[in-house]
Chain A
Amino acid sequence: NAGVTQTPKFRILKIGQSMTLQCTQDMNHNYMYWYRQDPGMGLKLIYYSVGAGITDKGEVPNGYNVSRSTTEDFPLRLELAAPSQTSVYFCASSSPGELFFGSGTQLSVL
């Protein structure tokens, strides 16, 4: 029972590089989310999607892009990595009454 799967688990980027964080879920959930978690801070919502083809900005979307071409996949794109994007990123999907998180991606931008 895979649930929400994120790759990679760890990544180091140089300033200005780009990358895509992958997220897939096998629970047929319409709702998916990307959060970031910085030390000593609460998780912040970056983007969310209510279904294939529909995405919207969360609290901290600047510097990120998303797409949702299928129900299963919700990748997060960083175009020009900046040190402020050093964080742990969690993908999540939800069903009524429950929000499931992936295992996270620890990203460092140096």
Chain B
Amino acid sequence: GQNIDQPTEMTATEGAIVQINCTYQTSGFNGLFWYQQHAGEAPTFLSYNVLDGLEEKGRFSSFLSRSKGYSYLLLKELQMKDSASYLCAVNPSGAGSYQLTFGKGTKLSVIP
């Protein structure tokens, strides 16, 4: 079976750093995606990790440990516009086809 867990809600202060964790148990693994989704909008791509380690993209970083079935998304210098849901998704299928299994998402609220 497929199981992806992430916290339901988080609150953080503008300018601070927040880490959103994701743990997974899936029948296969060919990469992990993070998406941002503002209310009423489509998910937008943030990162894709295939190998262990940290990948940094501006204010956003994503970490993966395949042996622990664990990933996190790190958001630095939080801005009000970062208030959104953050979706963790695993690709359990073969490389090339992204039949993703999604977690339920973490709703992040950034407060002044």
Contact = CB atoms under 8 A, between A and B. Distances in A.
Q: Are these two chains actual partners, yes or no? A: yes
Interface of A: 31, 33, 35, 40-45, 48, 50, 58-59, 90, 92, 94, 96-104
B97 A48 contact: yes
A58 B31 CA distance: 18
Given A33-B99, A43-B100, 7 more contacts: A42-B105, A43-B87, A43-B102, A48-B97, A90-B42, A94-B98, A101-B43
Contacts, number: 54
Interface of B: 4, 31, 33, 41-45, 48, 87, 89, 96-105
B43 A98 contact: no
Nearest to A58: B99
B48 A31 contact: no
A42 B87 contact: yes
Nearest to B31: A97
Give the residue among B33, B42, B99, B104 with the most A Cβ atoms within 10 A: B42
A45 B98 CA distance: 10
B42 A101 contact: yes
16 contacts: A33-B98, A42-B101, A42-B102, A43-B89, A43-B100, A45-B99, A45-B101, A50-B96, A59-B101, A90-B42, A90-B43, A97-B48, A99-B100, A101-B42, A101-B44, A104-B41
Contacts of B89: 42-43
A93 B65 CA distance: 27
A89 to B, nearest CB: 11
B96 A96 contact: yes
Given A43-B87, A48-B99, A98 B48 contact: yes
A42 B96 CA distance: 22
A40 B101 CA distance: 15
Nearest to B33: A99
